[in-house]
Each structure stands twice: as C-alpha cells, then as structure tokens.
Amino acid sequence: MSTTTATPAPEKLTAKDFTSDQEVRWCPGCGDYSILKQVQTIMPELGIPKEKIAFVAGIGCAARFPYYMETYGLHSIHGRATAIAAGLKATRPDLSVWVACGDGDLLSIGGNHTIHLLRRNLDITVLLFNNEIYGLTKGQYSPTSHEGHVTKSTPFGSIDHPFNPLALALGAGGTFIARTMDRDPIHQRTLFKRAHEHHGTSFVEVYQNCNVFNDGAFEIFTEKSSKKEETLFIEHGKPLIFGTNNEKGVKLDGFKPVIVNVADVSANDLWIHDERDEMKATLLTRFFDDPKKAGHLPRPFGIFYIEDKPTYEDAMTHQIAETKKLRGEGDLDALLRGGATWTIN
C-alpha cells in the first residue's frame, strides 16, 4: 500500500507581508507614501514569491523605496538604476524586476541609460516618481520643471524646456507607456498591475506631489474643483470624454485634436482610444500644454500605448543556446588570452 503526501498550499500573502520593518522616512504628506502603499497592495495579487521580486533604485527620495519593500532590493548609484536593473534581468530573467526613480535621477544623469533600457525592451517595470523638482538635495529644478519655475538653482526662473517623459519613452521605443497620479490609488493599482503583466519594459509616470519643495505642482489635475475639467482618463475602446458632466469630447480634425461638445456630435465622431495605435499614442503624449493656457487640451491619464515585441533577455538566452549548439561551451580563459593582440614598436 502506497501513501502520498499532499503538497501544502502556497502561503497566501497580504500587503503586510511586503512591508519591511524599516521606518518610512519621507516627509509627512509626501506623495511617495501613496505609491508605496499601492505597490504593496498589488504585490500579493501578482502571485509571485517575495524572493522572486527585486526593486532597484538610484539616488533621491524615491530611492528609499527598496528599503520599505519586504523583497530583494538594490540601492544603486545616481542615474544607474536602469542599467543595473537591466543587468539583473539579463542574468536572472526569472525575477520580477522593478525600478523606482525620481525625475531627476531617471531623466537627467540617468537619461541615457533609461532610453537604452526602453529600446532594448527588457521585461522590467519602471516607476517614474515625477514631482518636477530635486527633493533630496533640497529644491533644485529638474528636467521636468516647467519654464519659469523659480527654484534654488533657478532664482530668476528656469529657461529650460521641460522633458515630456511619455513622449520621450515612446520615442525611445517603449512598449508600455502609461501615466497615473499619487492621489488616485485605484487608478495606480490598475496601471501597476497592467504594467507588470506586460512582457517588456513598462514605463509608468506617476505625478507625485513634493509638499516641501514643489507643493501643488499637479493640483489642477488632482483637486476636485478642477480635476474633471483638466484630466482625460483614457480607456481602451472608449471615447475620449471629460468635463464636469462628461459633456466634452475630443475628436480628430485630420491629425489635429479638437475639443467638441458631446451633444453636438455623434458617438462615431469622437476619438476612440486604441492602446495599440502608435500614431494616436504619439498625439496623446503631446497633450502636454500649460493648463493655464487658453484653449489647452486636458492632460491624459491611463495606458497610452502597448506593443508586443521580443524582449532583450529572451533574445539573449536564445542566442546563447543556439551558439552552444554550434560551438559548444565557451572558454572564457581562452577568450581573454586569445590572439587579438598587437605589438607597438
């Protein structure tokens, strides 16, 4: 008579299981708290063991993120989080790798690494904490600070044109482009889960308030009094509609987006969002007007674009396997001591 031992059911994890024992040391009221909470909340829903998850960060307020996650984490150096995350994913493709960085870290000193991560399309989720300021170093302007912004490093106002992060990501070949905000927790959770599900580099910009050095930077998009008039929540297969009573819509006049009254047009006239349409996604990323400018377009939030494309680590793994079939195991010592040398007289 044989006996079998039942395999115990995997432990059901909760958000608390992903909360480390470290004291969270952000300024009271910082938008980072919300992002941390939403990430910890969705982690159990992903069905991944904690030891198969790694968070990588650079330098800045956002870079404390790995300390607060009860997962593996790497606190790297300024601007290099995406490069280190890429190396980690290439060598350990079985891991779920996340990057948490601020706008200064990711788009200034780290800008070059970021665009190459996007074009290579490694299966990594990048969370851009965008507060349009350098917070940790006490309030200098960043690559996303708006023109005329007065900071400690621009006392007479910035004369730089700010980066449009999503336009940059799409132009670099990003295959998942999205935007959310710290004061909309449900929207955050939805996008973070979709970003994780995507097989490729997911780039999610989070509008995050720095209540010490740039308080209210996104107030017009987050406050009840103005949110419905200034934001456009895009969903696949649905028309672009906004306004206090959803009375406004967006249609295309050729390639030019225009605002119309929903009552004055048919449903077929309105722009229907398609997550797979790169041309329309490009137009959506350009809904980036100054909200104080007359006739400006609302700021979109949601998933702008998704593309199915081979990932770098899959291609690398395949190439290594094919090379082994043709040439066998490599010899690193022979490679290092090979004949590619020359003598200088």
User: Quick one: 122 and 197 in the same domain?
Assistant: yes
Closest residue by Cα to residue 32 from 82, 76, 75, 66 = 66
User: Quick one: 263 and 300 in the same domain?
Assistant: no
Range of the domain at 214: 15-237+274-306
Q: pLDDT tens digits for 23-38?
A: 999 999 999 999 999 9
User: Quick one: 30 and 167 in the same domain?
Assistant: yes
User: Quick one: 107 and 206 in the same domain?
Assistant: yes
d(CA 125, CA 225): 33
d(CA 339, CA 223): 67
d(CA 189, CA 206): 12
Looking at residue 7, its pLDDT comes to 58
User: Quick one: 129 and 39 in the same domain?
Assistant: yes
**Within-domain flag for 130:** yes
Q: How many helices (H) and strands (E) does the chain have?
A: 12, 11
User: Quick one: 254 and 294 in the same domain?
Assistant: no
Which of 220, 255, 272 terminates a domain? The answer is: 272
User: Quick one: 21 and 103 in the same domain?
Assistant: yes
User: Quick one: 252 and 145 in the same domain?
Assistant: no
Looking at residue 292, its pLDDT comes to 86
Q: pLDDT tens digits for 140-196?
A: 999 999 999 999 999 999 999 999 999 999 999 999 999 999 999 999 999 999 999
| Residue spans of the chain under pLDDT 70 | 1-10
**Within-domain flag for 219:** yes
List all residues 6 or more positions away from 151 whose beta carbon is below 8 Å from its beta carbon. Answer: 133, 139, 140, 141, 145, 158, 213
**Within-domain flag for 6:** no
User: Quick one: 59 and 97 in the same domain?
Assistant: yes
- CATH number, domain of 291, equals 3.40.50.970
User: Quick one: 202 and 268 in the same domain?
Assistant: no
Structure token digits, residue 14: 């909760």
**Within-domain flag for 336:** no
Structural domain count of the chain: 2
**Within-domain flag for 94:** yes
User: Quick one: 268 and 278 in the same domain?
Assistant: no
User: Quick one: 183 and 257 in the same domain?
Assistant: no
